[in-house]
Structure formats: C-alpha cells, structure tokens
Structure 1
Amino acid sequence: LTFVRQLRPTLAGALLLIGQVADAVATPFVGIESDRDDDFWLCHYGRRKTWHLIGTVCVVGSFPFLFTKPMGNHPSSQEAQFVYYAAFIIIFQFGWASTQISHLSLIPDITPIPHERVELNAMRYACTVASNVLVYTVTWAALGISGTDHEAQVGPPDGDVFRDIVLIVVAIGAFFSLIFHLVVRDPSRGGRRESRSRHT
C-alpha cells in the first residue's frame, strides 16, 4: 500500500490494525456460530462446509480489490482510499476466519481417532506451506525478480502486476476450494446429534 498505492504509512498501519481487529472479532464469532445445532438456511449442506463456503465467497469477492485502485476515473484522496480498502479488509478478514475456523474444526468431526487427526493436520499444514511457496513463486515470476538485481523496488507502475498475481492466486485457491466442497463430506450435515451418536 505504501509503495504501490502511495498510501501514507499511518493510514497503511491503521488498515493493518483494522484487519487485526476484524479478525479478532470474526474468529470467535465464526467458531461459536459454526458449533450451533440450529438448522439454518444452508445447514443441510453441513455446518462446517457452510461456513467454509461463506468464507470462500467473501475471500474471493474481496481479496482482488485489496490490490486494485479504487474505481473511478479521478485519483482518489488518501482518506477515500482508506475507506475503500478498510471495507474490503473487513470482508476479507471475516471470510478468512470463516474458512480457517470451519476447516480446522472439520477435522475432529471427520474422525474421532487421534492419529488420523494428526495426519489430517499434517496434510493441512503441508498444503499451507505448498500454497505459500506457490504464491512466492508466482510473485517472483510476475515481477521478474532475479537473484542479482538487489536495487529493484516495487512502485506505482507495479500495481497491475500485483493485480494479476492476486487474480492468479485467487483462481487457484477457488479451484482447490471447489475440489474441497465436491470431495470432502461434512459429518455435521445430518446435525450434531447424529455426528455424536456415530462417534460414541
């Protein structure tokens, strides 16, 4: 934000703080709501996968806007950019909390066996590391960074490059989220009581 969008460091720091506060509020909210026994509108899909789907939609719908200029033909003021980015950061943080909390809480629902839970957590962590490496690789390739060029620094002209990087990463993430929703079965689909009776 400070290098590419030329946002003042104080505003960029405030946006970071807003994101952390939004995450701090969203995480327990999603945890509590995804544990509810209530039958709500998407409950037949499964409590965990419903919240994961909500989170995925929020992330896919907000993350690209964090790396694009505010819409309009005229340059936006610093304050207008702050409001623009703050709104999308809040949506993104809610979505991120929804996907992460529901995904993690799905593991104990899938299996009651401790070593299987450990294996699932290990696979989840391995996929997280692989996705982080992929993001860095895509960024490196898109920015054309070489090991000998230490003088290069990103700036306003790189805004379109970052937009393209984000669109690639979001498309890959959406693809794997689709696979998750098609392949993984949510044991809470029939309600918590049915899930508990199976595990006892």
Structure 2
Amino acid sequence: MTGGSEEDPFTKPIGRWSVFFYGVGHMLNDITASCWFTYLLLFLTQIGLSPRDAAIVMLSGQVADAFATIFTGELIDRFGHFKIWHAAGSLLVAISFSSVFGGCLPCSILHNDSLTLETFSYSMFAAIFNIGWAATQVSHMAMVNCISLNSTSRVALTSSRNAFTMVANLGLYAIALVVFGVIKAGSKEDTETQYRWIAYSSITIGCCFVVIFLMGTKEPRLRIELKQTSRARIPWVYWFRKLLYYQVAMVYLLTRLVLNVSQAYLAFFVIDDLQMDQSAKALVPAIIYICSFVVSVLLQEIPWNGRRLKAYYTAGGIIWIFCGAAILLLPRDISSFMYAISVFIGIANALMMVTAISMQSVLVGAEVGGCAFVCGSLSFLDKMSCGLALYVLQSHQTTSPRGQLNNNNQQSVYLSVTRYGLGLVPALCSFVGVAVTFFMELEAAGSLSKPLLREPLLE
C-alpha cells in the first residue's frame, strides 16, 4: 500500500499554490454571508420591519438555501463540472445580493411602501440570493474530496478556505466601519444607502477572488477518472447506513448553529445590551475574525489524524462554553471585557469550523462519487436548523431592550433574547457537539488512511 501511495498522484501532498487558489474560491460567498448574518436582522428592523417580519425574511432565505443544497449536490454527483456550478452560483449571488440590502425594488416600482410588500420583496430576493449561494458552497466544499485523497492535504484545503473566510469577514467589517463613519443613519433612506454601499463593495471584492479561483484552480481529475468505475456515483442509502454520517451531520449542524446564531446577534448585543459605541459593531467582529484567521493558518501546518480532529474540536467547544457563560453574565458597566471575550470566540470558531468540515472529508474518504451529496445534505440540515433557530429567537425579540435595576439603582444583567442567542445557544450547541465527538470512531476503516498521515502536509 505504501508503494501504491507513492505512485498515485492523488495521494501525494498538494502544492501551496493549489491550496491558495482553492482557498480564495469562497470569498464572495463568505463576504456576503458575513453581511447576511451580521447585519440583515439589524438592517430590516432599522428600516421599520418588525422583528417577526425580519425573521420571516431570514427564514425564507435559509429554507431556499437548504433545498437548493440537496438538488445541487445530487446534480453535481450525477454530472460533475464543479467549476461551472461555482461560476453560475457566484453570478447569481452577485446579481441578487444588492437587492437584499438595496431597498425594496417592487415598492419603488408600485409606489407602495406597505410593510407587507416590503417583507415579500426582501423574502423573494433573499431566496434567490441563497439559491446561488448554495450552488457555490456545495461545489466548492465537494471539490476538496476530489482534489486529493491525502487526508492531511484535505485539512490544509479546509484550513485555507476557513482562513480566507476570516479575510472576507474582516474585509466586510473594514468596509462597514468606513461606511458607518462616513454616512450617518438619520433616516430610513440613509440606512438603506449605508447598506447599499456595503453590499456593492462586498460584491466587487468577492467577484475579484472568484476570478482568481476560476483561473488558478483546475477541474478536479479524480472525479473524472472515477466516472467510468462502479464508484462513479454512490446512492444516498449508502450514507444513511453509516453511523458516522449521522455523527458528522450532528457535529456540523451544531457547529454552524454556534457560528451563525452568535454572528446574527453579535451586533445587537454590543449595541443594544452593552450600549457600546457604534464602531463596536464592526470592531468586535473584526477581533473575532483576526483571531480565527491566525488560528486557521496555524492549523494548516499540523499533520492530522482522527484523534487530533476530535481533540481540537473538543478544545474549541470547551472554549465556547466558557465564552457563552461569560456573555450571559457580562454586565453593561464592564462592557469593555467583550473585546477580551471576542479573542477566545475567534479561537474557538476556527478550531470548531476547520475540524467539523474536515470530519466530512473523513466520512467521504475515497468514496468521492457521493461527496457532493454529503456536503449538500449536511448543508440542508445546517440551513434549516439555523433558519428555524433564528426565527424562534427573533420572534421573541423586542425592538427596545429593557434593563433591570437592582436595589442600589444600578444596572444589572438582563437576560434578553440577544444574550440567549449569543451566549446560551452557542454554549449548549458546543456542549452537545463535544459529547457527540467523544463517541466518534474516526480511525475506523474507510475513514482516514494511516499511511498518508506520515507524509508532509504540502509539497
């Protein structure tokens, strides 16, 4: 087997430029998703929609995304052509995203400013945007398993992708910091102008990296060479019979809940609950993503095996549990501690996200004929759960957070929906994720190939 791995080009470590070109391929998705989860609910409530209507818009996008991932995964497994799907999805994202944050287009055409029409318009464009987003995400994630069979190189590709996710998020918050500083939101029109500029700038930057990805990354040959074999396409039932599929699905779902729900309520928390400066809704997320970027880069240099994946995921989950507890108990008069908490959140996010996605590659192993279905089905669970969680939380949200005074007339901690969304939900999801990970058998036959683990990470 050792000799076979030396001759097989798909089991050799891949080059750093290949890792780089792959890593930038999700930048458009990442920068728009960051804007989506960080500012959509805040934007919609600021322009006059009720928290429940804003939640409907968010849920419509998540549901469309969920079902699109299933269909996209099945079609990619049948016909391949990862780059075509990626390019088509990116084009749809670029066209539709500006309409999500660009104001109500039907309202302008019909000269009708009713909240019902606004809700319908934003929900429609949110669904279109998420369909394109799903096509790009599934094709990009599935490519990892078809670029290389080397387990450690697969983690390197995932780490690179996650590192550039942090770059995309930092880029968004840099743009937001400038826009919020230059354009003051004194009216609904000013608010729409703020987010329109953020959307246009994000799309421009993201499209540049999509071009770099398409030019620098070749269509994976592994999927093409297996097309004529019995492993060209694996039926869905094959995965449903594997215990590891359900374990990986649960860990990935919980990890996405941790990241997406916390991101959606971060801006609300620092502005409404802690009453920090407006710049904090860009600075606090920026600190999180700087730390995540550094950790993601460092994770590329580690030789991986199943035990290390479990250990690093557990470490990230434990850190998030402590961060969630700190957020629940953080009083307003020492709000500056949020900057310290954000450092640990950034570390935990990177540890959990890189290892959770890498567990998908362990599950797929060499069975690349079903890799797109695995990515799509897990993403379906992720989108539906996040959409429902945010809908439930936002439906109980109030437009003006209350405070509570203790016996000395001093402000005390008020456990708002925002605190639950940023603190309690991620902490509970992290705890369950760590518990599921503990019972995983990632070293089982068909997951990680042990001889590959002794090879260097990259050429």
1:161-180 to structure 2, matched below 5 A, reads: 161-180=194-213
- Root mean square deviation of aligned Cα: 2.5
Does 2:17 match 1:2?
no
Of the candidates 43, 67, 73, which is equivalent to residue 101 of structure 2? 67
4+ runs deviating over 3 angstroms: 152-155, 188-192, 194-197
- How far has the Cα of 1:177 moved from its partner? 0.5
- How far has the Cα of 1:194 moved from its partner? 6.4
1:7-26 to structure 2, matched below 5 A, reads: 7-26=49-68
The alignment's TM-score, normalised by the length of structure 1, stands at 0.82
Does 2:83 match 1:49?
yes
Distance (Å, rounded) in 1 between the aligned partners of 2:93 and 2:146: 24
Q: Aligned partner of 2:54: which letter? A: A
- Aligned CA distance change for structure 1 residues 178 and 9 (closer, same or farther; 3 Å): same
* Secondary structure of 1:69's aligned partner: coil
1:45-194 to structure 2, matched below 5 A, reads: 47-71=81-105, 72=108, 74-144=111-181, 156=188, 157-187=190-220, 190=224, 192-193=226-227
- How far has the Cα of 1:190 moved from its partner? 4.7
Distance (Å, rounded) in 2 between the aligned partners of 1:158 and 1:131: 23
- Aligned CA distance change for structure 1 residues 10 and 115 (closer, same or farther; 3 Å): same
Between 1:80-89 and 1:119-128, the stretch displaced more is 80-89
Distance (Å, rounded) in 1 between the aligned partners of 2:138 and 2:69: 7
- Aligned CA distance change for structure 1 residues 174 and 191 (closer, same or farther; 3 Å): farther
Q: Does the CA contact (< 8 Å) of 1:135 and 1:169 recur in 2?
A: yes
* Secondary structure of 1:35's aligned partner: helix
Deviations 1:36-70 (A, max 9, x none): 14xxxxxxxx6211111121011001100011122
Distance (Å, rounded) in 2 between the aligned partners of 1:96 and 1:63: 10
Point out where structure 1 has 5 or more consecutive residues left out of the alignment. 38-45, 146-151
- How far has the Cα of 1:109 moved from its partner? 0.9
Deviations 1:101-131 (A, max 9, x none): 1101011111111111111111010000111
- How far has the Cα of 1:191 moved from its partner? 6.8
Point out where structure 2 has 5 or more consecutive residues left out of the alignment. 1-43, 233-365, 368-459
- Aligned CA distance change for structure 1 residues 191 and 67 (closer, same or farther; 3 Å): farther
Q: Does the CA contact (< 8 Å) of 1:35 and 1:47 recur in 2?
A: no
* Secondary structure of 2:171's aligned partner: helix
Q: Aligned partner of 1:135: which letter? A: L
Distance (Å, rounded) in 2 between the aligned partners of 1:163 and 1:194: 48
Q: Which residue number corresponds to residue 28 of structure 1?
A: 70
Q: Aligned partner of 1:131: which letter? A: A
The alignment's TM-score, normalised by the length of structure 2, stands at 0.37
Q: Which residue number corresponds to residue 40 of structure 1?
A: none
Q: Does the CA contact (< 8 Å) of 1:56 and 1:95 recur in 2?
A: yes
* Secondary structure of 2:218's aligned partner: coil
Q: Which has the higher contact order (CA 8 A, sep 6+)?
A: 1
Q: Aligned partner of 2:217: which letter? A: V
Deviations 1:61-99 (A, max 9, x none): 110001112232634211111221111111111111111
- Aligned CA distance change for structure 1 residues 191 and 34 (closer, same or farther; 3 Å): farther
- Aligned CA distance change for structure 1 residues 135 and 194 (closer, same or farther; 3 Å): farther
- Aligned CA distance change for structure 1 residues 122 and 103 (closer, same or farther; 3 Å): same
Q: Does the CA contact (< 8 Å) of 1:27 and 1:97 recur in 2?
A: yes
